[in-house]
Structure 1
Amino acid sequence: MKIYYLLILLATPILVFGQSSDIYIDNIESKISALDTVGSGKVEFVDSALNIKVVYPFKAKKVDGKVEGYYLDNNKLAFSGKSIKNLKQGLWEYYSYDSLGTPTTFQWFNYDNDSLSGPFMQIKANRLINGSYLNDSLDGAFKSQLISSDDSGNTILAVLDSGLYSKGKRYGEWVFFKNGKLFQIGYYENGLMHRNWKEFDLLDRDTNTLMVETQYFEGTKTGNEKIYFHYDFIPCPDTEDTNCIDTIKVMEFEQIPWQDGEMTGSYFKTDEKANTLEKGTYNKNKKMGEWVFTDPISKTEETINFLDDVRNGPYVLKVNSKTTITGTYAQGKKSGTWTYRDETGHKLRDENYDKGIRSGDWSYYQSQGALGLKKVFANDTMVELYEYNKDEVETMIFEFRYKTNSAVVIKYQELNKDSLVFKDFVFQPDSGGLNDETFMELFKTSGKDTSVFILDGGYVVKKDGQPDVMGTYSMNVMTGNWDYYYNPSILWRKVYDMGFMKFEMFLDKATLAPIDKGDYVLWYGAERPRLEIKVKEGLRNGKSTYYKVDGEVLKIEKYKDGVIQ
């Protein structure tokens, strides 16, 4: 006996029926090495894993004749075909059996000198495939169908795709289906998508409605792609079921320009009433130049300029055909002055930016057009704040200095009817820092609350441009000299320590020397006395009469050498 080495390759699938279920096996490769054989006769090869016994006829040490495979469990014929001198030839058939043992040819192939050539029928991964080979390459008509069963066990075939092959590559018109619905129709050239391709609506079960048209040249999108409508998938309203998805058909038309697989050229989108929603130009997949975005519902029109898909250049927003926002982008960031108006054309505010960061003056306008509020920014932080009256006169001025402990030191000026007040505050914002959007509202409601705005630093009141009161606070506590300029020639000075007045003096305003002696009146204003006093050597000495603003006497005190009696 001699030992021969032989490789038998069966490059086709076999359907093997076991006792419990059908098993599909793809690309079976039976490798037989060190096979005991003779020059002529039959040799059996058993593969228990595949439940197959194969009988090979040998002549002159080569497989020559009818090759047969049998199922091990029932010894019924599984497949058969002819080989001549180790080369498969002609028809090879594969069999299955029903419960009565009746055979059915479920797939078959044709060979010419061991190469697949001619028509075939194949079952592969629940698909029934009909086609033709030439020299081991698909060639000619081709169709694949999905195999399934109904509730009664009857076989159902649903077409998946059909078309032509040439030398193993698709060509000509092909048709594709999904779940029994027409999905795509298109043309192939040399195995590549070519010319016009159509895609149809899969969700509409009743009609074959065209959804998308795309142009290809040798596998690459070239020309205008047309999308006639699309679907949005959103969570179902009025339900807590997170798995519920609502399908919305959106009747919007898009025309997308393609050149060599890249979006290049004029793009536009319209709604079902042919209203333009978007229009602009692409260059190599990037937005370029002017783009216009329109919303018929909100009646807005937004014009944006792009450079390489980044906002760059003038920006305009219109509402009801009225310009409401104008500005400029530079490399994707706001730059220069941005102006906001309402739909009547009234200017609301001007904003200024430097490379996307708030910078310089931000001006807010009153209804009659006068300046009403101004914020000054440096490096995106508000450093000054102004409020104006109807005559554009500053009535409130804030200067902000930010400390490392997040506290804010505020220098404040307030214009009243007959006075100008200067105060220094310390303000401690929350963890988010000072909110420049809400600060003014907070100050108007809590500006007199010293637990929020702590008096710390100078305090000055001026009337007619001259000092009226001058003093210093330390964390809401009066400290040091407090000077009151209620008389044209003398100064009333009170000295405080930790909030308590230690003493008072009446000084000559010009020399700051103590007043020798005299009777004086301290005034609220013209012809409105505040305090009548007698002074000796800078101290009260005699009667002091206090008046209310309306002129009524408030109280009378008597002093001797500055001490109340």
Structure 2
Amino acid sequence: MKNIFIAFVFGFSSISYAQTDYSFVYDSESFLSDGIRLYEEGKYQDALKTFDKIVKDDPNFYSAQYEKAITLAVGDDKEAARAFYENAYNKGYMKENPLFYMAYGNFLSDQKDYDKAEKMFQESLKIYPNSSSLFYNLALLYLRKEERQKSVDYLEKAITINPNHAGSHYMLGLIALEDGRVTEGSMALLAYLSLVNEGKGCENAILKLNAKFSENYLDKSKLTFSKSGDNFEEIDVILRNSLPLKSAYKVNSTIDDVIIRQVQAIAEYAAEHKVEGGFFETIYVPWLADIVKKKQFEGFSYHILLGMKEHLGKKITSQNKKITAFNETYLSRDFWQVFARRTVDLFGKQEQVVVYLKNNKPYLLGKEENGKKVGKYKVLNEDGNMVGELNLVNDELDGLQKYYDAKGRLTEEKNYSKGKAEGKRTKYYENGNVEFVENYKNDLLEGISTSYYYNGGKSCEVNFVNNERDGAFTCFYENGSKKSEINYSKGKFNSNYILYDTAGNISNSYSYVMGEIDGKVYEYYDGKIVKSEIEYKTGKISSPYKVYYPNGILKEETTYQNNNPATLVSNLPNGKKSYETLYDKDGYVATNNYFNGNDILYFQETYKKGEIKTALQFESGKSKATDVPVSKGNYVMKNLEGIVLTKGSYEKGKKKGEWNYFYNTGSLSAKENFDNGKLTGLAKTYATDERLSSVLNYVNDTISGVYENYEHGGLSNVYHYKGGQLNGPNKSFYPDGSISKENFYINGQLYKSIRYWQNGNANLVSWYVNDSAIKLENYSPDGKKLNEINYTNKNEKMSTAFFGGAEIHETTLKNGAFEGKYIVKDKNGRIISDNNYVNGLRHGKQIAYGPTGAPTSERNYYSGKPNGAGKYYDIAGNLRMSDNDMFGSDTGPLARYYHNKGKFLEYNQYNGNIEGEAKYYNQKGDNILIVGYQNNELLYYIKLDKNGKLSEKTPVVGQTAKIISSYPNGKTAIEINFVKGNIDGKLVVNSQDGKPEYEANYDMNLLSGPRIEYYVNGKVYKKENFKNSSFEGLQQFFKEDGKPWVTAEYKNDELHGLCKIYTNGIVSQTQRYDSDALVEIIK
């Protein structure tokens, strides 16, 4: 399919689905190859559908559009094909895949729109100035336009750069004959017949050459084939007078026909002809003369007739031995060295060179001396552009070699001596920066090798001795701080191996002795707090492997015997045991023990070499466990209270078919499918509120295909996985279902990211290499490009206007990565956010400010992860919540506040799970309700008694309870309803005199409708509106006297619309936001 070029006269040799297919694997390389195969099979509609699977953010998109255009062009609807080509041209697709120009030119030429076809070919010529195929198509265009001289000129260019372009020899031969140039025409057609020996083109060429030159091709020449030389008058006279056809002329072939006689005369003449620089005498005469001089004409005479083998029958088949001998002794050995020799520009100088082929196209050209390659050589790609500049001595690379990509950018320099790498090798990124530098001695790595980041800055450095790493191997972050360090000795680790986080603290430490790990191994959260630990002695595990939660609680402990696991204990975030695994001496699972949140065993399984053998169910109040069938019917696991937790079936000791998993409330938590013990097919997870949480597909225990994530019951993300890695488009959605962000991954690495305005237009577009941003573009809501930032080699302070100047971003870059302060201000200088970065990651304190200038959040980060106390404020500036993170884990106290800074609610959480007692307060500060949790599960509550004390625990069954806690005067203090652990319905807090202080509505833990907070005088402090826990609509804040303070319009949980700030009840400033970004200050 790639060969789109038209043979002259004769032929020569965003994805959307009505129903989601979760097994669909996004693989653009496969789509391209499948589409091309379908095209070649004539299944054009299927090919089009396959090409359409490739999305626009994919680097292969432009190739897919090119292939699609070619596919449309062979169909009946030429107008549709033309419209597609025009759209591709107008949208700039052809600039991304320049072959498009040539394909469109061919299409237009076929449709007789010659002027526009010429324009497309000329566009292509700017990019492919040495493409024989392009020259050929231009020649065909001019032939159709009756501009034959231009056709001749381009055919000769094609033949000069590509001796193997059979179509050009063929067309040139036909034009020459029609112009009365029988010698020239014969030479060109003989070249064609030497290269091609089957098909109608061969038959036609043979018939043309078999016509008597004394009676045919008699038109007077009107075209110029050479500006000098090519004086063939002598042979022309001989041919025109039919002298070779006389019986006296001895034919050196058993086939005595017009073609053989005339061709033999031309060949014998060539052996005597004096070359004077004409095109035909430099291109064709030498190899025809060589055939005669090497006495190969008889074999040649049979070879050129192979195209009419069926017509000639025994005349030709009886000569098979001679044909084979000709192929072996001449065509395969001597022919190309003469046929492909021509004079061309070689690095600015006209030189006689030999053109060598790869996949039947020129790929190497340079000089030869005594049959050996010498001097400078060009390496060519399939389009004829130079991709390599070689230096050779006696067929061996010697000196500096240079390599380029298809766009002419230098990609590599490497030094050789006598065919072996010697000295420096430098590899370059496409932006021109150095990727790595290596040093060689006698074809082996020797000395320092250094790698670099795409945007600049040293990545790693290591020493080599005799092709082995030897000495320090040190890696760095973009900002120059150390990333890792180790020493090698004769290619083996031989020292402490230390890894550092971006903050400069140790993240991992190992100890090696001559390639074997020996000593303690630590993993840290911050260089101090241990994340995991284990010890080795001479490569063997000698201590338990322990993993810790950020707060120091043991998460997992594995013991080992003879380097195989012996026991594994996994704990919940609160430190209680979750499950325990015992292994046999060979490291296979022998027993699984499952525990409730109080270290009490409720289920046990035994295994033998990976297959389940027995299961025991323990229940509250029963001293003896119950056997659970594992080979027949449903396999059921329950908790101590008899609630089903797991249901499935086994086949031959391994999981088979659908398995269902449940929360302790009885609600479904997950569905999975198994085949022979491995996850296969569709899997679903559910939140505690019974809403769908995710849908994904597995192949042999590996995520493969479409992965959907849901939040609050609505689709929030769609990912594509290939072999367990993100690959292809990944989309995020606003609560209303519109797209908010789109990323594109290639084999697990981020390639492109687009953040959208809520109207669907792109806001910020970023490109990545090796997960580092290399370029950013910013657009206005109406699609206008506002600015562009290129991060390559950026080591400077920058001030950039965003959103038409509404925001000013001030930052410092170190080798393209954010380093130090990143401050965002509005056009009046008011700070919108104050951030700190280390090596491109948030680190330290971050403060965001709202429309009033008051903070909206204060957070602390460690190496990109939230760490430490956080505070969050409403847009009026009052504290609404505080929490604590430990290296990205929600661990520590969390409190929510009233406007008066008094606590509304407080509890502790471990890794996001509520643990212990959650306390609710009124605005006066009185504790009015306690709710008890263990590992995020509601166990009990304590409400006010008749004396106003919190004294008696009330157990909760199934995490469902309607709770009303009342003051001693009988008035309701708080009303809250839990369903399976989720707040559902009204949540109301009142003062002792019955006045409302706070009220909200929930739909299974999701805020829905208005949330209102009141002053003690009964007036509204704020009225917020929610939809599925997202801010939606007008949010209003009032002063204690009832006058408006701040109003803000929200959509999809973002500031979107007008935000008005009031002074004494009168608007003092209006700001316009779009998708949470300040785009205009109106007043």
Question: Which TM-score applies when normalising by structure 2?
Answer: 0.22
Between Structure 1 and Structure 2, which shows a larger proportion of strand residues?
A: 1
Looking at CA atoms only, which structure, 1 or 2, has the larger radius of gyration? 1
* TM-score, normalization by structure 1: 0.39
Q: Give the number of the structure whose residues are more often helix, by fraction.
A: 2
Greater relative CO (CA pairs within 8 A, separation 6+): 2
